[in-house]
């Protein structure tokens, strides 16, 4: 078997795998979780927004 025949067979196998998965579809809700997230912080929203602005200014430099 030459290198070219390997490439062709590999490509055919990948195309078959791709067409199989397209027919089955993708379940985007397979790993969904119900729950809540909460964050406790002593920093105010204004301070956080100000810091975000500083970080953006640093990126522009």
pLDDT of amino acid 31? 86
> pTM above the 0.75 mark?
no
Helices (H) and strands (E) in the chain, counts: 2, 0
d(CA 51, CA 57) in angstroms, rounded, equals: 10
pLDDT of amino acid 51? 95
pLDDT tens per residue, range 1-55: 555 556 677 777 777 766 554 456 788 888 888 889 888 889 999 999 999 999 9
């Amino acid at each position: 078997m030459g290198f070219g025949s390997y490439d062709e067979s590999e490509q055919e196998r990948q195309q078959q795998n791709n067409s199989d998965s397209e027919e089955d579809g993708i379940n985007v809700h397979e790993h969904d979780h119900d729950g809540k997230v909460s964050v406790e912080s002593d920093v105010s929203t204004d301070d956080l927004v100000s810091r975000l602005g500083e970080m953006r200014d640093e990126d522009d430099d």
